[in-house]
Chain A
Amino acid sequence: MQKTSTALTPGLIAIVGFLTLCPVVMLILGSFSGELGAFGAFTLEKYVAAYTDPAFAEILVSTVIFTLGSALVATGLALFLAYLNTRTNIPGKFIFGVISLIPMMVPHILFAVSWVLLLNPSNGMINLFLRQLGLEGAALNIYSLTGMILVEGLLDLPIAYLVVAPAMSAFDVALEESSRVCGASNARTLIRVTLPVLRPAILAALTLVIVRSLASFAVPSVIGMPGRIYVLATHIYSIVATGYAADYGMAAAVGMSALAASITLIVLYRRLTREGEKYVTISSRGYRPSVIDLKGARYPLFAVVVLISFVLIVLPVLVLFYTSLVPYVMTPGAKAFAAMSWRHWATVLKDPVSLLALKNSLYLGIGGATLGIVLSFFVAYVIVKVRSKASGLLESLSFLSFSFPGIVVGIGFMWFFVQTPLYSTIWALLIGYIATYLPYGLRPLTSAFVQIHGHLEESSRVCGGGPLYTMRRIVLPLLVPGIASGWILMATMFVRELSLSVVLSRPGTEVLAVQILRFAEDGLWGRLSALGILMIFISTALVVLANGIAGRLSKKD
């Protein structure tokens, strides 16, 4: 096995190196090239044009407010929830597990759309309802920076929660207890002891959410653009997708600053999480943090948590399903129920472009995730089991793309694909997807590999199992859960992929999320909702399918 892996490592470095570095290199070259047709001709004119644009300063300010605001909302909520879950006797703790899984359930673009349907100023359902009550002045406008921040903050809540919750539960309760013994109250202890000790985790969560919201395209496009609020991602999009001539040189020049910001933030994040280890306060095995009795606040706080989960998971699906059935936007009531029909569903299912998008997304989801997981399998094997300098390089390369905003990667790949026959084929999307989402497949697989102690393989060899026999009977069965969760993550990401696709998708290679964005731009909410529900259905079906197969595979042995 040693000999094959020595040949494997350089091959994988070449593949992963291409996938991660190609868009970056092409972005840099493209930003100095000017036009797609004039690749390689050096010019600074696109930088000058991009950064002297009088609107650019305003875009930067909006971007900073948007990303910081979402980070504060997401991290604040995450801290609140993590504290309740790990440190108090709140009932219904299973809900917290569900909250950390939401990103797999509701695609971001649909979540954003559902809030537009509820709160847009002209016919948002809540606003219509308020108007019926005669509270005209209370009408809320989602098309605002505040609206963007709140929706993005809710969307990024799970990721902040996943960073904060483990730190919170690993917290050494003795630190708090000694503060209590010294006479401080619960609240004072929280502010003076708990939060400062958790500072690295909190900063890490903030940084991660900033990176995510900087890369976010769904919320800025669905909520920001109608209100004429542009951030970097939508600014880049408008340079290539609106107006008369798409300017990929300028898009690349703007993209460079988004890329630089992301990389800086991720470096900061890595440093923070490494520094966090200094603060690690887990004392010993089998230790449980003491639980704070919420007493009378138990059920009210539980209600808040239920409300948050409802808003995060149930509400968007309900709003979309309802909208897909009514002829035009109206408040729920007898009139609405009488007018309900499957008309939008029928239209969507007869619409050739929507059907094509459905088919493409399904192909990309299943085929792309399968290819992606095969690549992840070998990369994870080399990272965990080979452990050489080359495998360290491979590891850094493969997790690098995690920090790149999708739309910027898209622009970089565009510069590349235009020079190849892959341009405007589904393969372009496939390559782009795998390049951007490789870490999603890698993470579960590397942790699965880590859990397979070397002795388990070695003992199979000593027992007379050859390398292939060992792979089939020991390594693969033990990896099945990791493979399944990697595949599920990749497949669901691919089915809903938006930010890369808006750049790379061409007529003939439409995908679901792009089609939904088109419906949103045209205000075709009924069709959008029907297609959106279909999208959620496909994602869920893939999850169920993969879990079922994995369950059967791991039981067999």
Chain B
Amino acid sequence: MIAPPLDPIDRAIVIATQAGLPLTPQPYHEIGGEVGIPAEEVMARMRRLQETGVIRRIGVVPNHYALGYKANGMTVWDIRDDAVGELGRRLGALDFISHCYQRPRHLPVWPYNLFAMVHARTHQEVEDKVAEMAALLGDASRGHEILYSTRILKKTGMRIGEG
């Protein structure tokens, strides 16, 4: 699951593309010009970064919020340890869940070990989807909460490089 470390050229490609590709007929040629390598090498390296999982996908990144998906709930679940892998995979396959992660509990203040981000247009819609998830999880889930975000206090790109 750990990808090989990025070399300086990979890092330069990440920095040159993380805010998006130029919307021009030959964007990889422009990136190559910026990084100082041929477009073919940009594409070959990006293909390898996709294979190793550093790049998850290449495409249009919509702004959920501008499309009306404003009620995004971080749902957290206390799932029996022996079931969390199987149930995590089943939740992660639902199309309204964008992220599904197992994280450690911190008892007694934090009993939840599974996080799933639910995207919907209204709180009611989030709650309907959470009911669907609860039914799927059955009694392997000992409790859950929905945490709605009320303010974005900081949001930047992933900031690789420079350092």
A complexed with B: no
Residues of B at the A interface (CB closer than 8 Å) are none
Which residues of A are interface residues toward B (Cβ below 8 A)?
A: none
